[in-house]
Amino acid sequence: MKKTLLWTLMVLTSVSTWSDEGMWMLNRIDQQTADAMQSLGLELTPSELYNPDGVSLKDAVVDFGDFCSGVVVSPNGLVFTNHHCGYGAIQKLSTPEDDILTNGFVAHKYSEERPAEGLFVRFLQRTEDCTSRVMMALDSVYRAHPDQEARELNRHYADSICRAVEKEYTRANPKLNCQVKSYYGGNAYFVSIYKVYRDIRLVFTATETMGKFGGDTDNWMWPRQTCDFSVFRIYADKNGEPAEYSQDNVPLHPKRYAKVSVDGYKPGDFCMTIGYPGSTSRYLSSWGIKERVDARNVSTIQVRGKKQDVWKKFMDADRAVGIKYASKWASSSNYWKNSIGMNKAIADLNVIGEKQKLEKQIADWYKGRQDLENRFGEMFGELEKAYGERYDAIYAQGFYSETFMRGIEIFRVASEINRMPQDIKEEQIKATKERLANFFKDYDAKLDEATMAALLQNYREQVKDKKYWPECYQLIDSLYAGNCEAYVKDLFSKTVCTDVSCVDKVLADSTLREKDMALVYAQGIPDKFMEITGGQSNNSSIINYNEHMLTQALLEMDQEEPHYSDANFSMRLSYGFIQDYTSQGTHYDYYTNSQSLLEKAAKQQEIEDYKLEGDIVSLMQKGDFGKYADKNTGDMHLCFISNNDITGGNSGSPMFDGKGRLIGLAFDGNWEAMSGDISFDSSLQRCIGVDIRFVLYLIDKWGGAKNLIKELHLD
């Protein structure tokens, strides 16, 4: 363990980068890295990018709601992020009578800005290396339990040690949020310290047709014309400190905000993103990739496809239902199409084959070297065996999660009721009712009934082994002759779990827990899930430990080469340059223009996702783009691509030029490289961003928000 610790620390202090691949920690940028970026056109120093003791560019970038990224663009706390990042907040603020999701929204003064309940942003204060503290604590555990496997001790103690370190930091920083996360497959640990602001207000959103232009048709595709942005503002108390929503709060005056540029870009220009990429698996073994493709992604694709078919019928038939389910649909369909594209790209680019070649190189490296064989010699054999033994269970678990935990919504209501204690206190009753009221605001029982019937039937068809079936199927087969639809119709007609009154009804009649069909149904769902996951625990422990060892072996074998840690929703920097690409004989330019938008809009009768309001079409046809037109091409640039390395969570990340000025907002990747979370292909992988000039044009010419344009202090 001590040898591993010393080696890990040595590698991490020597890491540098030279290519556009990589999601790099800002606090680890050394001079060699800075030189590489500056050779491509960066004019900022490392301390101007990250300076925990002063002001730097990282202070303008925010974690937006713990699911996206954003950037502060004015001295009054104005935040730009993607439309799809603000989508949930916009949807919650919409009603059929005031449908800002469809029609857009513009606040011309502070008093018109609308509080986005539940939304927050976090500013990173600093990131510190705590590897030695975690590793030494684990080393003490190993010494105290010499007879136990290291992998078992890791599984039981690593998380609790991280939480203990978090508590130490929190005691020292009681007003801040502190998070310890593992890096490099558990070979290193860092703590990130944040300041969290919770009074966030909606300032501007374009129409849904513009913010989502292209919809599912164009999602994960290039070329794009989507103006994927929304605008919020951060509010604070009079001292600039975080505070819950209050009319007395004032716009935040941030330490740093990003200068917005209308100068544009051209091919080969430096481009840098800073944001919060969610999760990648670049160090995953070939067996892990195969499991991801065949056992995990397949359930996301298959079940969500069925669910979305049902949802669409109800959403199209009733606009009120469409508003309720708009955000849910966006989330579901995004990862549905992502999984389809990932599986295709992994096959097309032979990702598994390339990983197998790398694994052979690692095996050849340690072969014949006794000290290395002692550490890594059994690694591949254990991975192959453990992945093989848990395959069926993982396949079933994927379908189970997508069907019963994510697909059938009444389960959430019934579970909430089932968890209520018999001696529940008044404040707990109030909290439960508030949670359910928020849930029912965006719920339609008829839609859920149809979804449940379809998904129950689908699960029994896709998962043949009855040992993976929950208890409800026994009832369906014995009392309903296997007819899932009849069972579901009965359940919804008799249950109390279709509105908030269910809380009082169950409290008044405790026997409902044993006879209400939805409550009985929900009781059996977690038990079977725990049985499925519990049966994999030993193999999962073996896999986690040996994947950790595989990462360690790769880093040690190539310790002279730069290596970045997988994304884990901590702040990262990626860099590269504006670049077009060619795929399967088709060349794709580096930007799209207004004409390409008009060409797609002309197809809106055949393709619903290309629907566009007449006033926006008229604006584009006029061609009066003024200062927002590109100085190099004369066109109005809508979206553009760079070879920056991004993934989910990077949505809303600022795209900076070499001077650190904002030129766009990252919002997507391209179809040809959808395997990017597992393997980066520099010739194909592209970051798609909305040009900031397109954003400004809509704010100015469509929204008439001169107040916001003035606030940005454009040159």
Instruction: Count other Cβ atoms within 10 Å, centred on residue 388.
Output: 12
Rounded Cα distance, 541 and 135, in Å: 19
State both tokens at 163: 């939480």
The residues facing 205 across adjacent strands are: 105, 230
For 205-222, how does the pLDDT look when each residue is reduced to its tens digit (9 = 90+)?
A: 999 999 999 999 999 999
In DSSP notation, 310-361 reads HHHHHHHH-HHHHHHHHHHHHHHHHHHHHHHHHHHHHHHTTHHHHHHHHHHH
| Domain ranges across the chain | 1-120+198-276+571-715, 286-538
pLDDT of 9 > 60? The answer is no
In which residue are the tokens 């919809």 written? 215
d(CA 361, CA 583): 29
User: Where does the pLDDT of residue 140 fall: very low under 50, low under 70, confident under 90, or very high at 90 and above?
Assistant: confident
Q: Which has the minimum average pLDDT: 27-41, 121-135, 250-264, 358-372? A: 27-41
Q: How confident is the model at residue 30 (pLDDT cuts 50, 70, 90)?
A: confident
Residue corresponding to tokens 């649909």: 329
What average pLDDT does the segment 107-136 reach? 96
pLDDT per residue as tens digits for the range 576-611: 999 999 998 999 999 999 999 999 999 999 999 999
Q: Is the peptide bond before 267 cis (omega within 30 degrees of 0)?
A: no
Name the percent of the chain lying above pLDDT 70.
96
CA-to-CA separations, 400 to 59, 396, 460, in angstroms, rounded: 42, 6, 10
Q: What is the pLDDT of residue 583?
A: 92
**For 246-272, what is each residue's pLDDT tens digit?**
999 999 999 999 999 999 999 999 999
What is the percent of the chain where pLDDT is above 90? 87
Tell me which residues are annotated as active site: 84, 228, 651
Q: How confident is the model at residue 230 (pLDDT cuts 50, 70, 90)?
A: very high
pLDDT at 688 > cutoff 60:
yes
Model-level pTM? 0.90
List pLDDT tens digits, range 390-435.
Answer: 999 999 999 999 999 999 999 999 999 999 988 889 999 999 999 9
Give me the helix-helix angle, 131-144 and 2-14, nearest 10°.
170
What phi and psi values does residue 76 have, to the nearest 5 degrees? -115, 30
* Better pLDDT: 660 or 9: 660
Please state the φ and ψ torsions of residue 104, each to the nearest 5 degrees.
85, 175
**Adjacent-strand bridge partners of 648:** none
Residue pair 578/642 in contact (Cβ under 8 Å)? The answer is yes
Q: Which residues of 255-275 are buried (b: 16+ CB within 10 A; e: fewer)?
A: bbbbbbbbebbeeebbbbbbb
Structure tokens at 521: 């149904």
pLDDT digits (tens, 9 = 90+) for 167-211: 999 999 999 999 999 999 888 999 999 999 999 999 999 999 999
- Per-residue pLDDT at 355 exceeds 60: yes
Distances (CA, A) of 565 to 49, 282, 556, 568, 624: 19, 9, 14, 9, 46
- For residue 36, what are the CA distances in angstroms to 17, 20, 664? 7, 10, 22
* Residues 287-299 pLDDT 10s: 999 999 999 999 9
Q: Is the pLDDT of residue 315 over 50?
A: yes
Q: Report residue 496 CA to chain centroid gap.
A: 35
Q: Is the pLDDT of residue 2 over 50?
A: no
Strand 270-275 to strand 250-251: parallel, antiparallel, or no bridges (unpaired)?
A: unpaired
- In this predicted structure, the answer to whether residue 238 has a pLDDT above a threshold of 70 is yes
> Residue 294 to residues 214, 288, 354, 388, 541: CA-CA distances in angstroms?
29, 10, 18, 12, 21
Tell me which fold the domain 1-120+198-276+571-715 belongs to: Thrombin, subunit H (2.40.10)
What average pLDDT does the structure give for the chain?
93
The mean pLDDT value for 643-654 works out to 96
Q: Are 646 and 273 in contact (CB under 8 A)?
A: yes
Higher pLDDT, 236 or 1: 236
Q: What token pair was written down for 205?
A: 């959103």
The predicted pLDDT at position 151 comes to 63
Q: Three-state SS for 531?
A: helix
Give the helix, strand, coil percentages of the chain, each rounded to 5.
Answer: 50, 15, 35
pLDDT for the residue 11: 42
Residue linked to tokens 């901590």: 570
